[in-house]
Amino acid sequence: MPSLKSLFRRGPGRIGAAEARRRTADGAAVLLDVREPSEWSAGHAPGAVHLPLSALVDGALPAAPAGRTVVVICRSGHRSRQAARILADRGIPVVDVMGGMTAWAAAGFPVRDRRGDAGTVA
């Protein structure tokens, strides 16, 4: 049975793809992609920072200047939610993107492969 404290603990915020793009477009926040290297290579949001969830779990931290919010994204939103909780537990201001890169691409936002050409969400 969950503890009383865990019932009232709120996780990091969640935002949609449009809000994620708005927050990261001007550099006010850092877009962190936590997918695996093959997924990143196939297609990611321009300007995103890549740090696989496995590295984050092992203690790595994203390169983000102090005071900037980290906006975490994955393919569908599951891994980004997990990553956001890890970062929040480390005291980093964070939100995750509902629907992930799938929602990002569906909204018509750019996706680039490792060469900078048009990419796909894998």
Which positions are catalytic?
74
Nearest-CA neighbor of 97 among 120, 79, 111, 110? 79
Burial label, 79 (beta-carbon count in 10 A; 0-12, 13-18, 19+) = buried
| CA–CA distances in Å: residue 15 to residues 22, 35, 48 | 11, 18, 16
